[in-house]
Amino acid sequence: MAKAKKIIRVFSLSLFALVISGNLIASQVVSSAPGTSIEILHVKGNIVPVTADYIDRGITQAEKNGASVCVIELNTPGGLLTSTERIVERIMNADVPIVVYVSPKGAWAASAGTFITLSAHVAAMTPGTTIGAAHPVSGGDQEIPEDQMKKITEFSAMWMRTIAEERGRNADEAELAVTESKSFTDTGALKSGLIDLRADNLESLLAMINGTTVTLANGQEVTIDTSDYQTNRNEMNSVEQFLHVISDPNIAYLLLSLASIGLITEISSPGMILPGVAGGISLILGFYSLSVLNAYWGGVALILLGVGLFVAEIFTTSFGILTTGGVVSLVMGSLILFSHSPGIEVDRGLIAGVTIAISAFMIFVLGAIVRGQKRPKATGSEGMVGQTAIAKTSLTPMGRVLVEGELWTAMAENDNIASGEEVIVTKVENLKVWVKRKTAG
């Protein structure tokens, strides 16, 4: 009996050990199974620093998740060289296969987009898309000096050739995209050996790349498995989306223009607060965008000079001379704003619209001031003498005061007067009032 119990105990322990061993083996098999998740990134618009940050974050996430492949859906007119260099370097040194897919129909991968597409392990395009035109261009009306342009073009062409050769693509055709601004349709790019395949949609693309073997930067050969996959769309987060939106040159220019209008309004009518706050915020965001886009600060200085001349017109009777100078300075600054940023420029129609809008705004403000000061009073200008006014700016001794709801240029008698103090009008002459500090009692 005791012997039987011993046999049963040994059998039970053996069975338990067998079950545990089976579970361990099964868990090892599951854990060693290749990853079948696919990371999808989506890039649309100019290639700017936040785009490079987003792609870096997305590829890093794909590496951490053990993704089978990372697909970058691309639609871009181009962008900054520095940001393009970061993206290409990250793609070519990724520890996960990278597929760049130019989509949807009608999309393009121009300029910087060409470098990015050709740097991928697998390059694909949707029917009806284009690629190429990667010749360096100036961002404004100013032409890049011939010797400098030659150096930039030679560097870009050699870089394009290096990328194409590394990925086994047609280096000669790739180089023509830089030296001759050659563009290719999806069929032309496939025939020229610049891309690997054409796919109608993402599902078709994933089916076509299944079983493709690529070599990573570390020399490891990896076979892409998309036979049983789950996609994970890793979109830009809200902060990245916001920064990408304001990194558009047209948005940056609009922010700078709104800042100008807001600050001019606040200066011409002190105490309104909202225009000043909105203008200040727009100015800060505008400066961020301009710095990101590598704006030419000579252009920024001309735009700010134009704003200064507009403000000076409000406080000085120049019969429109300062406003004219402000308009000229604004237009010149706008045209050369991105002259040092190849591929980045402000729409000419937007420049014309903003210039007309600011000019009309200045005419309205100056007209309102002149009409207010020339409006006949029932008692005549002499009737203002003795009236109480409020200093809207410091009178040192010249400034502005609010009299009967109207802003007047004022001259303080005897001493300086701080903003906000009550004063008494002592004389009115030539659209200007003389005031003195109101005594207590």
Q: Residue 273's pLDDT is what?
A: 84
Q: Residue 136's pLDDT is what?
A: 66
Q: Residue 27's pLDDT is what?
A: 35
* Cα–chain center distance at 43: 13
Q: How many Cβ atoms sit within 10 Å of the Cβ of residue 165?
A: 12
Percent of the chain with pLDDT over 70: 84
Q: For 183-187, which contacts have Cβ atoms below 8 Å and span 24 or more sequence positions? A: 183/110, 183/130, 183/131, 183/132, 183/133, 184/130, 184/131, 184/132, 185/129, 185/130, 186/102, 186/125, 186/126, 186/127, 186/128, 186/129, 186/130, 186/131, 187/127
What is the pLDDT averaged over residues 195-214? Answer: 95
Band of the pLDDT at 146, cuts 50, 70, 90? low
Q: pTM of the entire structure?
A: 0.70
Domains along the chain with CATH numbers:
32-240 (3.90.226.10), 248-374 (no CATH), 381-437 (2.40.50.140)
Band of the pLDDT at 374, cuts 50, 70, 90? low
Lookup result for tokens 């001794």: 397
Q: Residue 43's pLDDT is what?
A: 96
- Taking all residues of the chain, what is their mean pLDDT, rounded to a whole number? 83
What is the pLDDT averaged over residues 272-291? Answer: 89
Contact 136, 342 (CB under 8 A): yes
Closest listed residue to residue 116, CA positions, set 137, 104, 98: 98
